[in-house]
A and B are shown apart, each in its own frame.
Chain A
Amino acid sequence: MRTTTQRALSGPTRPGTRRRNRFLAAAAVTSLVLGVTSACGGSDDPTESAEQESLGEGEVLTITTFGEFGYDELIDEWNAANPDVQVEQTKISQWDDWKAEMNTNLQANSGMPDIAAIEGDFMPALIAAPDRWVDLSSDDLDGRWLEFKVDGATTSDGELLGYATDAGPEAICYRADLLEKAGLPSDREEVAAALGTWDDYYAMGDEFVKKMPGTAWYDASGSIAQAMLNQVEYPFQTEDDTVDVENPELEAVYETVTSNVNTLSTKAAQWSDDWSAGFKKDGFATMPCPGWMRSVIKDNTGDPAPKGAVWDVADVFPGGGGNWGGSYLSVPKSSTHQDEAMEVAAWLTAPEQQLKIFEGYGNFPSAIEALEDPGLLSSTDEYFNDAPVGEIFSSRASAIEVQPYKGPLYSDILQKFQDAINRVDQGTDPQKSWDTFLSDVQALQ
């Protein structure tokens, strides 16, 4: 090895090797330029399960979650009870960031945690390539979760690729103080009675902004679009996974949302700085509100809430029920501690734990036993004007009639769809933005 190196390196002293120097110099510059895209070719077969090892001294089981799963206390509890299986959590603030990182890890076939949190919308992509993930099905866990959650994570061969963490039945969260100021019904029952359909919702919004010109009706065009989308049966793909975004239902959602951009929306993109700031500054009055949104509202508005700000939640969702979000815990085949990982994931998604998370963070359970728990049904939330949140979200869960069909590209197309809505928020002509959306979707295939 050494001699060959020497010989190769003695080269430049010979005549005519100047060019080689040049080449090296050029190559050095190249590395600066292309450093971004170094693609690693993993040589091991990623569909092969990693060799299993037992957890050694000082080794931990890793889990990566995004947003707020409410696992901090639970993991402490687990670690105290299980000195042999210590769990360490990595929290990433947003799903899209974790999705990008996970894609990179899967591509490189390294760096995946033992347990990965998967957003419900991304589950179809896992189903499309199931042999990179551990089949988690076990007879003990049959019937633990809501049927649609289990179906969403089950392959055609009957493998279960994820344990459901939570469900996202949607209600309407609203600022009671602002509605009152506008002279509109602000009482929980009155609001619920007034917002039965989307037409009602938009009509009340028009009335609201007339009286309160400085405040928008809802938090973001994107979140309303998402809420309406959750009631469409085939939003982006048909049953055989053909991409079909030019369907009348999707176009109707797009048209409704974009035509109200200038009147009812904050025009801030969901999760942006301006969007977060809007919570504190009376930026908007209502928002679609899946269970997990409660902790988002608390974090952004501040706890205790600024003086005068009163959040409340109404037992209603325009156009019937809807489910937004709800995630899974999955175990990649690259994990070297799959049994322990399954055990921890099963524990974290058990009804008892889901109830504790609901109490502390608001994420609504997906386990049937938890849904029937009397403690859950009687639970109230002081922050939301002492609303009976347990009862409200249970009633919202039973109102869900449509589960949108999600093909493998659902998560990717949804992102492009949100981009299209955001463009209109920023002032692009809706038709032009729609055309860009179509070409964006075309580029995904």
Chain B
Amino acid sequence: MSTSSDRPAGDVATATDPAGGSPAPHGAGRRTSGSDDPDRRRLVRRQRRSRWDLKLSPYLYISPFFLLFALVGLYPLLYTAYLSFFDWNRAYYIRGDFIGLDNYKFVLTDPTFLKSLVNTFSIFLLSSVPQILLALAIAALLDRSLRAATFWRMSVLLPFVVAPTAAVLIFGSLFADQYGLINQFLASIGIDKIAWHVDRLWSHVAIASMVNWRWTGYNALILLAAMQAVPRELYESAALDGAGKIRQFVSVTLPLIRPTMIFVIVTSTIGGLQIFTEPRLFDDTVSREGGPDHQYMTSTLYIYARGIEDQFYGRASAAAWVLFLIIVSIAVLNFVITRYLTRRHTS
């Protein structure tokens, strides 16, 4: 029984695969064997031109992105690598001497950096995991025949439209330690106030809730789009087989939206490891480096603090590269795991 419900699922998955841009095999590229006939030579030249056209045009069309990327992505990336081997003259804001791996040594032995890494992962886990689960639940709820469906769907996206800075200001007054709304409420029902800006874990919770507030709706809409593409017949046949709502969700919806799930997981991983605005503005002491004891300093904030604030661009660059390598390895890990899971499923 389970195989019969699995098979159509797999079929549909390939049929609705959004990444179905499999390269269309076009015969135009095939070489017509050359002829010495002078009349045909011109034809051949024209054919060659059209062949070039076919081969080159697509790359020309996508080239703007890559040119722009080389300028604003690749160049800073390589320049950062270059800078990470140099000292920095703070007074004049210019590059100092070549100092080899000293910057890396500084960063890797800096307890603040190690602390920021732990914070980064803690905030990442506290935000991404509940965020995706919640987004999934909201998407499932929205994937029903609702009155004024567009209204509900758009309202989910509303937090995403609010500028993060504005959102953090509002959350800042919610989470203020002494006169914050939440703590005043807690005090009024006789519970001890929570030291949001002091306690390490609670500060992570506060920041994660800001991140979740902003991104859950966005992820829910992406998942909803994927759910909408699931053919309704599948639910009917599942219902005929006696599957309840929850069983339908687990056995039909989830397998069919897997590609989108992977997309959402990967993007929120990358985003979750780069959280910056929230901890930066959550800290209302003047240095804004994730709390005076760096309780909630994330690694991107560390890079900013070392580079922009302390004016050690070499050290900041080294930290950026360390963070980059960490994120890449996690992305690779993600990729391997999902690939393993997918393969097991299709076999």
Contact (Cβ within 8 A) A419 B287: yes
Residues 9-44 of A, flagged 1 when their CB comes within 8 A of B and 0 if not, give 110110000000000101111111111111101000
- Closest Cβ neighbor of A432 among chain B residues: B293
Specify which chain A residues have a CB less than 8 angstroms from the CB of B56 in the assembled complex. 6, 9-10
A90 to B33, CA, bound (A): 71
Q: Could you tell me the distance between the alpha carbons of A373 and B172 in the complex, rounded to whole angstroms? A: 44
Supposing A34-B324, A94-B286 touch, asked if A39 and B307 sit within 8 A by C-beta, the answer is: yes
Interface positions of B (Cβ within 8 A of A): 55-56, 59-60, 63, 66-67, 69, 72-74, 76-77, 79-80, 83, 91-93, 106, 110-111, 172-173, 176-180, 195, 197-198, 270, 274, 276, 284-289, 291-293, 300, 303-304, 307-311, 313, 316-317, 320-321, 323-324, 327-328, 331
> B287's closest neighbor in chain A, by CB?
A415
* Cβ contacts under 8 Å, B309 to chain A: 100, 103
Q: How far, in whole Å, are A95 and B287 apart by their CA atoms in the complex? A: 10
Partner of A39, one of B176, B287, B313: B313
Q: Let me know if A31 and B73 touch, CB within 8 A.
A: yes
Give the chain B neighbours of A29 by CB distance below 8 A: 270, 327-328, 331
A58-98 CB contacts (< 8 Å) to partner B: 94-96
In the bound complex, CA of A271 to CA of B288 (Å): 11
- Once bound together, how far apart are the Cα atoms of A428 and B298, in whole Å? 20
> How far is it, in angstroms, between the C-alpha of A338 and the C-alpha of B73 when the chains are bound?
36
B59 and A12 contact, CB distance less than 8 A: yes
A281 adjacent to chain B (CB < 8 Å): yes
| B93 and A46 contacting across the interface, CB-CB below 8 Å | yes
Whether B293 lies near A426 (C-beta < 8 A) is: yes
* Contact sample, A vs B, 26 pairs, CB 8 Å cutoff: A5-B60, A5-B63, A9-B56, A9-B60, A10-B56, A10-B59, A12-B59, A28-B73, A29-B328, A29-B331, A33-B323, A34-B77, A36-B274, A37-B80, A37-B307, A38-B79, A95-B286, A106-B93, A107-B313, A270-B285, A271-B284, A273-B179, A274-B177, A274-B179, A416-B287, A422-B292
A306 within 8 A of B: no
Which residue on chain B has the smallest CB distance to residue A426? B198
Given contacts A24-B66, A269-B286, contact A37 B91 (CB under 8 A): no
What CA separation (Å) do A204 and B71 show in the bound complex?
63
List residues 391-445 of chain A with CB under 8 A from any CB of chain B. 408, 412, 415-416, 418-420, 422-423, 425-428, 433, 436, 439, 443-444
Besides A96-B286, A283-B178, 18 other A-B contacts (C-beta < 8 A): A26-B328, A30-B74, A30-B77, A31-B69, A31-B74, A31-B76, A35-B72, A36-B274, A36-B320, A37-B307, A39-B80, A39-B313, A104-B308, A106-B93, A129-B91, A268-B177, A269-B292, A439-B111
Q: Which of B72, B286, B308 contacts A415 (CB 8 A)?
A: B286
A interface vs B, CB < 8 Å? 5-6, 9-10, 12-13, 24, 26-39, 41, 46-47, 94-96, 100, 103-104, 106-107, 109, 125, 128-129, 132, 268-274, 277-278, 281, 283, 408, 412, 415-416, 418-420, 422-423, 425-428, 433, 436, 439, 443-444
Q: Which residues of B contact A9 (CB under 8 A)?
A: 56, 59-60, 63
A107 pairs with B74, CB closer than 8 A: no
With a cutoff of 8 Å between Cβ atoms, the chain B residues found around residue A31 in the complex are: 69, 72-74, 76-77
**Interface majority SS on B: helix, strand, loop or mixed?**
helix
Q: Which residue of A lies closest to B92 (CB)?
A: A129
Query: B317 to nearest A CB, angstroms?
Result: 6
A425 to B331, CA, bound (A): 40
Q: How far is A33 from B271 in the complex, measured between Cα atoms in Å?
A: 9
Contact B110 A36 (CB under 8 A): no
Determine whether the beta carbon of B292 is less than 8 Å from that of A426. yes
Query: In the assembled complex, how far is the CB of residue B187 from the closest CB belonging to chain A, in whole angstroms?
Result: 13
Q: Which A residue sits closest to B316, measured CB to CB?
A: A37
**Alpha-carbon distance between A38 and B72 when the two chains are bound, in angstroms:** 8
* Cα A425 to Cα B291 with chains together (Å): 12
The complex places the Cα of A428 from the Cα of B295 at a distance, in Å, of 11
Which B residues lie within 8 Å of A5 (CB)? 60, 63, 67
Q: List, in ascending order, chain B residues with CB within 8 A of A39's CB.
A: 76, 79-80, 83, 307, 313, 317
Bound CA span A283–B80, Å:
47
Report whether B328 and A426 are in contact in the complex, using a CB–CB cutoff of 8 Å. Answer: no
